Structure 1
Amino acid sequence: MTHPWFEGVERPRVLAHRGLVRADTGEDAIAENSFAAVAEAHAVGAHYVESDCHLTKDGVVVLFHDADLSRVTGDSRRVDEVTLRQLDDLMAGHGGVITLAQALDAFPDVRFNLDVKAAAAAEEVGRLIAPHGARVLLTSFSDERRRTALRAAETAGGGIRPATSAGTSIVTRFVAAVNLRSRRAARRVLSEVDALQVPERQQRVRIVTPRLLDYAHEAGVEVHVWTINDPGDMARLVAMGVDGIVTDRADVALATLH
């Protein structure tokens, strides 16, 4: 059965990577994963927003990619070393901080692809997304963190289990099964996930191949490729059979693919 996260949206899926920050925004006033970036992705018609979850010092899940604040705000502290109020002040000139609870409440028709970046955030992420399982896909490079968040969502009793995509260990095992041409092993490896979200290449190794797409689709799993910003690459990958494109330029992807 198809998870509601996938239903009713035209493929190929366009996932707005950390929201949308246009190239013409001037002096970088708007930062990725800010309230303004999520709002901009929504405004251009993106059904899906990909974002990341960290936990502040006072236990609030915020959408933020890096473990520390230096790249985005110039402050050298870690996200878990500042309170939400402090982060709110730091992000005031960068589009505004957005908590996970705010994102789910303020954008009720957006479907979120959430990457649990911090182990300490996993259980709280699960609790927060439990009532919104139909429009959340949960992921993490760590399959352990991903499973922890899923268990927390199930314990909280939201009704619909969030969709989920593979972490590094599952991706590695699946790629090995593809290389060994073992369809049975490939299906078994992907049995607990709904999507495979991968780069086209990992250094010099090509990940996304026609055979990988074939094996994933046979297992009932979609393949989304990150982070693709060139329109020609978007079109090429979709022609190959990719189901979704994770991109910094959702506006360009929507115009190119839809």
Structure 2
Amino acid sequence: MLSSSPTRHPFLAPAGPRVLAHRGLVTPDAAAQGVAENSFAAVAEAHAAGVGYVESDCHLTADGTVVLFHDDDLSRMTGDPRKIADVRLAELEELMADRGGLVTLAQALDSFPDVRWNLDVKAEAAAAPVGRLVAPHAARVLLTSFSDDRRRVALAAARTAGAPIRPATSPGSATVARLVAAHALGLRGTVRRLLRDLDALQIPERQGPVRVVTRGLVRAAHEAGVEVHVWTVNDTGDMTRLLDLGVDGLVTDRADLALSIVNGR
């Protein structure tokens, strides 16, 4: 059980377990109709299913607009090899029009005011703009990135832009690697230090041959008042097993299935 903490971030209240819709929700039927991840339609589907949290990704267009998009180029989504950073917003909107519709970060925050946003900053150039955009919404935003530098830039930009509180945050991959190693070596002081100023530890169950999520690591995070969210969990058996292990959140492409499991517990 997560230790009670007077500093629990509003993003994580009330207590979980919680379901985070990975890039929105694209059901098999929606996919057959051409709906893409991170599209307006995918976010709307997650919202309609009753999901309170959407995990998404942030890039910056050539004309400086933050958009929800995972890859740094268009090749997988549209067959166009250009980088997101080289395409202007209007053209990107046209390319995504029949794939569920492009969403800018500003549109996402305004159109879904009761959704809490777990935002992964994918591009260095997007970090400060993301921070400025989320500043008024900091109570319902968690900022993360594989790069701790990008994450810190975004957090600092939110603060400078007048965020009433710091957005919630989860560490980058380098910090996670140090944390897992320190826990394996029994360096409890180092583990506590690395967890300081974090709200969630968002990690895969395994990284190659290395098991990342263990009961001991979950316990250590909880002792520090930090939640554990595991990505990307799509098998219902795995969902149940991880919840039984004590994790606080499931990042999943099948938020509809995960909700039914969480609500049935």
Q: TM-score range by the shorter chain?
A: over 0.9
1:59 to partner: Cα distance = 0.2
Displacement over 3 Å in runs of 4+: none
Provide, for residues 74-100 of structure 1, a one-character-per-residue CA deviation record: whole Å limited to 9, x for no partner: 211110110000000000010000000
Map 1:165-244; keep pairs closer than 5 Å. Answer: 165-244=170-249
Could you tell me which residue of structure 2 aligns to residue 41 of structure 1?
Answer: 46
Report the 3-state secondary structure (helix = DSSP H, G, I; strand = E; otherwise coil) of the residue aligned with 1:242: coil
Any unmatched runs of 5+ in structure 1?
Answer: none
Query: Contact 1:70–1:77 (CA<8 Å) still a contact in 2?
Result: yes
CA distance in 2, matches of 1:182, 1:211: 13
CA distance in 1, matches of 2:31, 2:251: 23
> Which TM-score applies when normalising by structure 1?
0.98
1:69 to partner: Cα distance = 0.6
Report the 3-state secondary structure (helix = DSSP H, G, I; strand = E; otherwise coil) of the residue aligned with 1:108: coil
What amino acid sits opposite 1:47 in the alignment?
A: G
Could you tell me which residue of structure 2 aligns to residue 4 of structure 1?
Answer: 10
Report the 3-state secondary structure (helix = DSSP H, G, I; strand = E; otherwise coil) of the residue aligned with 1:92: helix
Map 1:91-110; keep pairs closer than 5 Å. Answer: 91-110=96-115
Report the 3-state secondary structure (helix = DSSP H, G, I; strand = E; otherwise coil) of the residue aligned with 1:127: helix
1:139 aligns with 2:144: yes
State the superposition RMSD in angstroms. Answer: 0.9
CA distance in 2, matches of 1:150, 1:54: 16
Query: Contact 1:133–1:162 (CA<8 Å) still a contact in 2?
Result: yes
Query: Contact 1:51–1:115 (CA<8 Å) still a contact in 2?
Result: yes
CA distance in 2, matches of 1:37, 1:44: 11
What amino acid sits opposite 1:119 in the alignment?
A: E
Any unmatched runs of 5+ in structure 2?
Answer: 1-6
- Which of residues 25, 50, 57 is equivalent to 2:62? 57
- Which of residues 69, 72, 76 is equivalent to 1:71? 76
Report the 3-state secondary structure (helix = DSSP H, G, I; strand = E; otherwise coil) of the residue aligned with 1:25: helix
1:253 aligns with 2:258: yes
Q: Please say which of residues 213-222 and 90-99 is displaced more in the overlay.
A: 213-222
1:28 to partner: Cα distance = 4.6
1:70 to partner: Cα distance = 1.1
Query: Contact 2:18–2:262 (CA<8 Å) still a contact in 1?
Result: no
CA distance in 2, matches of 1:3, 1:40: 26
> Which TM-score applies when normalising by structure 2?
0.95
State, as a whole percentage, how many aligned pairs show the same letter: 66
Query: Contact 1:21–1:40 (CA<8 Å) still a contact in 2?
Result: yes
Provide, for residues 217-247 of structure 1, a one-character-per-residue CA deviation record: whole Å limited to 9, x for no partner: 1111110000000111000000001110000
CA distance in 1, matches of 2:245, 2:31: 36
Query: Contact 1:170–1:190 (CA<8 Å) still a contact in 2?
Result: no
- Which of residues 117, 130, 137 is equivalent to 1:125? 130
1:25 to partner: Cα distance = 2.2
**Matched positions, count:** 257
1:26 to partner: Cα distance = 5.2
CA distance in 2, matches of 1:218, 1:247: 25
What amino acid sits opposite 2:199 in the alignment?
A: D
